[in-house]
């Protein structure tokens, strides 16, 4: 019979404490022996802390440590990032990103067509560039999808095409990449979105526990273009679940909605305690709870 996670943590804690006692008795407390004592001392303290955080019975040693480290780091980092967001001047940040985008992409086909090289200030951009809708960019996007280089974003090849949901008409295609000009503003966007998401999590789950969460993410079979670029929904880009997920990462390989929802429901129902259930769309939420019924 496999030992429960709490028993494993107790054993680890006793083991680390035994190492500390052995080193202390064998070598005494001296300047040179302090450093070797730090490692088992920190590990023992972490094990005690994990035990106090009521770890889910379904955790393994690996999964509980990953979630613990993840939560501890984020709960320390998020307040700093959140304060930097609150204290930042949104207009200044946006203007800096805008001018960097203009300068980086001035030699692309789009930059030449819209005279980016003459834009020296945000006011120049407002005056010289039209207010746009999707159809303004569509022909440029089509050229990127066909494999043409240097069309709208410099030094970048599309590695994925995001398809919109089509609720406002036909599906719209947005070629994206993590290379070249696409990287401008990306770290800020990821940091800010992640910080807001985690701040909301802290608001609704203020006490740190090692209960699992159920993030229901439905993947769809990507469409492959003639140039071999995968095309699908925005969630298709990131095939990973956060540490502490009640469902394993391999569930993201299930590409049929009903089967995936059944598996999410199965993993969720085996948990006696869940921190939260995350469902991105109302239609998915309805179908998920219908599956449980």
In this predicted model, which residue has the larger pLDDT, 288 or 40?
288
Lowest mean pLDDT among 55-59, 110-114, 229-233, 264-268: 229-233
Please state, for a pLDDT cut of 90, what percent of the chain lies above it: 20
Give me the pLDDT at residue 33, please. Answer: 58
Domains of the chain by residue range: 5-52
The model's pTM: 0.72
Handedness of CA 177, 108, 124, 173 (dihedral sign): negative
Q: What is the DSSP letter of 244?
A: T
Element (H, E) at 20: helix 5-27
2 has pLDDT over 60:
no
Give the model confidence (pLDDT) of 147-166 as tens digits.
Answer: 888 898 888 888 888 887 76
Give the model confidence (pLDDT) of 107-124 as tens digits.
Answer: 999 999 999 999 999 999
Give me the pLDDT at residue 1, please. Answer: 33
Rounded average pLDDT over 176-202: 69
Lowest mean pLDDT among 96-105, 115-124, 137-146, 272-281: 272-281
In this predicted model, which residue has the larger pLDDT, 142 or 11?
142
Give me the pLDDT at residue 168, please. Answer: 66
240 has pLDDT over 60:
yes
Which 3 state secondary structure label does DSSP give 132?
coil
Give me the pLDDT at residue 291, please. Answer: 93
* 143/92 Cα distance (integer angstroms): 33
In this predicted model, which residue has the larger pLDDT, 33 or 114?
114
**Alpha helices (H) along the chain:** 5-27, 31-52, 61-87, 90-104, 109-113, 122-128, 134-145, 186-204, 257-269, 282-292
Give the model confidence (pLDDT) of 274-286 as tens digits.
Answer: 888 888 778 889 9
Rounded average pLDDT over 43-71: 86
Give the model confidence (pLDDT) of 199-235 as tens digits.
Answer: 676 777 777 888 899 989 888 777 888 888 888 877 7
Chain centroid, CA 200 distance in Å: 14
**Which runs of E-coded beta strand occur in the chain?**
160-163, 173-176, 212-216, 223-224, 230-232, 274-279
Average pLDDT, the chain: 82
74 has pLDDT over 70:
yes
Rounded average pLDDT over 246-275: 90
In this predicted model, which residue has the larger pLDDT, 6 or 56?
56
């Amino acid at each position: 019979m496999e030992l429960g996670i709490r028993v494993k943590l107790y054993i680890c804690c006793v083991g680390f404490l035994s190492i500390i006692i052995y080193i202390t008795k064998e070598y005494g407390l001296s300047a040179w022996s302090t450093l070797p004592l730090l490692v088992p001392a920190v590990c023992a303290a972490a094990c005690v802390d994990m035990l106090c955080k009521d770890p889910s019975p379904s955790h393994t040693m690996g999964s509980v440590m990953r979630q613990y480290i993840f939560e501890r780091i984020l709960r320390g980092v998020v307040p700093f990032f959140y304060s930097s967001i609150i204290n930042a001047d949104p207009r200044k940040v946006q203007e800096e990103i805008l001018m960097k985008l203009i300068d980086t992409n001035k030699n692309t086909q789009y930059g030449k067509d819209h005279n980016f090289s003459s834009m020296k200030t945000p006011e120049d951009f407002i005056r010289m560039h039209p207010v746009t809708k999707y159809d303004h960019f569509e022909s440029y996007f089509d050229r990127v999808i066909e494999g043409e280089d240097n069309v709208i974003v410099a030094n970048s090849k599309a590695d994925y095409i995001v398809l919109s949901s089509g609720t406002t008409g036909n599906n719209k295609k947005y070629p994206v990449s993590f290379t070249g000009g696409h990287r401008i503003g990306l770290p800020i966007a990821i940091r800010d979105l992640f910080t807001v998401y985690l701040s909301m999590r802290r608001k609704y789950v203020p006490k740190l526990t090692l209960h699992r969460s159920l993030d229901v993410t439905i993947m769809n079979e990507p469409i492959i273009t003639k140039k071999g670029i995968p095309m699908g929904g925005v969630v298709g880009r990131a095939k990973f679940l956060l540490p502490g997920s009640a469902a394993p990462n391999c569930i993201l390989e299930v590409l049929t909605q009903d089967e995936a929802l059944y598996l999410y429901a199965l993993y969720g129902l085996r948990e006696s305690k869940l921190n939260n259930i995350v469902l991105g769309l109302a239609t998915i939420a309805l179908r998920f709870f219908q599956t449980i019924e």
